[in-house]
A and B are shown apart, each in its own frame.
Chain A
């Protein structure tokens, strides 16, 4: 789960990290009030779950409160990477003497949290990694002892020559590690971490991604989810226990299991089609899930054919068949349906479908090829 910048800033601040006072506004008038309270020039930043906000015109400088209102007017309501901006953050525009990058990620290879720092701050760290990887320094942290003071200090000296700034940065790194654990994060970033002309080290931006598996035991973090900032069909799918990701093609896919769902999309492409979505109905045998899945797929007007690919293991084919029959009674599909079922209770499923006037295939390739053909004919 992604947090908004203003939410991440609050968590960092609570961990003791110096973060300039800022506030969020949902209207231009509120933006003006906040800017007036801050005084002087401010930055108006779109709060949206998408990278590259600056490039998309979602981050703008304002000399005064009146200008902050204008900027907010421009940014609120704009769309960045398909997501509507509902809120802007109003933060003081800082004087910057130097910029660097500090982040913590869970590293799959070392199976540990890894602290990453770079003196190349203020730019996309992926870009730094691609062009000047020697400017990124990493340290795998032993989860039993945490980030030790001397380790943080050594990393801080990668960023600062002066011991005063290094000490401040080392403290921030240790506070960041605490914030990372207490939020159940999979990623936290300060980019940039700046030095002011007065020599203070301050976090000017914050990004925090929470591991979805942490939400059950961290209700206070789960409560930060902003469903208005996510794609509505994906929110609806998640509420129903499905995983759905919309794509640009016209073959709607409904599959049990993430790996098979990906392989099905790939096979659609292999046979010359384009998948309209990734959809995993999961391992359970709840017919209602199938109904919701079909509602979500049919709501996408690009979809020209619908493909079910079910390999029954724990999932019982007859439950999926019942779900399909129930769903088609409740809603008008408006496109051809291709069903492939094999595995647990396959015979029973085929009978249920046949009685309701559907036919079912047992071979994955045959089903995908058929669904691609039907989509092409309808397009």
Chain B
């Protein structure tokens, strides 16, 4: 078991013939993900790697293959339209890896996706992986291990760091979700926390936040009320100066709000074990769920 993706996931890769799309489509195939189709306008009828049919449109791809998830690698200027196209084709899970989407585009994308009943993960995210079952996105498969810890994060390589620590100590993961570092994202901490709480195959949750916005504070309130499984949390950016955008578009302390300190306080108040550094993840989890 896992959240959002599993062995039944049938994936379309939007932008499969591009540089990033083709590289990661190959990685996902190697990992064992059921990549059933690719879409690149003008390349319909071709075959990718000798086995994945390529279509001109998402509608064609879904009609021919019954795909139920898509992952987007197209350049940023086409990415919003790729999300609209996936939603119109009836895809229930859309994962947008592409970074650089204008935030005003996202204010239009979000209601569109919601009205069609789809879930968007990202944009500007590494995607997700249910180790051993399915990988959608760019999280390196070799650092993961099947197991019972759920991981949710706003970051990319910092997530890999934490997953790596878990794997090195034999603590496998049920699902790892990178929700993305932009100010407006399709899936937030609460969506993932709710999923992990309901997932019978997840025993404990690791959440990795960062400065900017109030998503972690909202997550803390949600944890206090609804999450019964142990949660271990980390907030990046304790040393970040206010008013500066720390790489991620959403990682900025505005005035005095969105600091690491206030987020760490909120998590502690909700009963979350807060890490001081990434290496604390294993000891804190061990205290709560015992040895792996």
State A109–B216 Cα separation when bound (angstroms): 12
Contacts of B248 in A (CB 8 A): 258-259
Q: Is the beta-carbon distance between B158 and A257 smaller than 8 angstroms?
A: yes
Q: Is the beta-carbon distance between A143 and B108 smaller than 8 angstroms?
A: yes
Residue B42, interface by CB 8 Å: no
Question: Which of A155-163, A167-175, A265-273 is the contact stretch?
Answer: A265-273
Q: Which listed residue (B140, B234, B241, B244) contacts A313, Cβ 8 A?
A: B140
Closest residue of A by beta carbon distance from B108: A143
Q: Is the beta-carbon distance between B104 and A313 smaller than 8 angstroms?
A: no
Q: Which listed residue (B108, B183, B240, B247) contacts A280, Cβ 8 A?
A: B247
Interface bin, chain A: 35 or more
Q: Is the beta-carbon distance between B77 and A217 smaller than 8 angstroms?
A: yes
State A243–B186 Cα separation when bound (angstroms): 25
Contacts of A184 in B (CB 8 A): 102, 104
Residue B32, interface by CB 8 Å: no
* Contact of A259 with B239 at beta-carbon distance under 8 Å, contacts A108-B184, A364-B161 already known: no
* Contact of A259 with B183 at beta-carbon distance under 8 Å, contacts A278-B240, A311-B161 already known: no
Residue B65, interface by CB 8 Å: no
Residue B29, interface by CB 8 Å: no
| Shortest distance from the beta carbon of B122 to any chain A beta carbon, whole Å | 14
Q: Which listed residue (A113, A212, A245, A280) contacts B244, Cβ 8 A?
A: A245
Residue B230, interface by CB 8 Å: no
Main secondary structure of the interface of B (DSSP, over half): loop
State A144–B110 Cα separation when bound (angstroms): 11
| Shortest distance from the beta carbon of B106 to any chain A beta carbon, whole Å | 7
Contacts of B236 in A (CB 8 A): 259-260, 262-263, 266
Q: Which listed residue (A143, A259, A343) contacts B153, Cβ 8 A?
A: A259
State A260–B279 Cα separation when bound (angstroms): 13
Chain A, 171-201, contact with B by CB distance < 8 Å: what is the 0/1 string?
0000000000100101000000000000000
Contacts of B208 in A (CB 8 A): 259
Q: Is the beta-carbon distance between B108 and A266 smaller than 8 angstroms?
A: no
Contacts of A243 in B (CB 8 A): 246-247
State A265–B181 Cα separation when bound (angstroms): 18
Q: Is the beta-carbon distance between B214 and A212 smaller than 8 angstroms?
A: no
State A278–B164 Cα separation when bound (angstroms): 23
Question: Which of B6-14, B199-207, B249-257 is the contact stretch?
Answer: B249-257
Q: Is the beta-carbon distance between A260 and B239 smaller than 8 angstroms?
A: no
State A243–B248 Cα separation when bound (angstroms): 10
Contacts of A259 in B (CB 8 A): 153-159, 181, 208, 210, 236, 247-248, 251
* Contact of A245 with B246 at beta-carbon distance under 8 Å, contacts A263-B161, A263-B278 already known: yes
Interface residues of A in 118-172 (CB under 8 A from B): 126, 129-130, 143-144
Nearest first, the 5 A-B pairs at minimum CB distance are: A259-B155, A258-B247, A257-B157, A259-B158, A262-B236
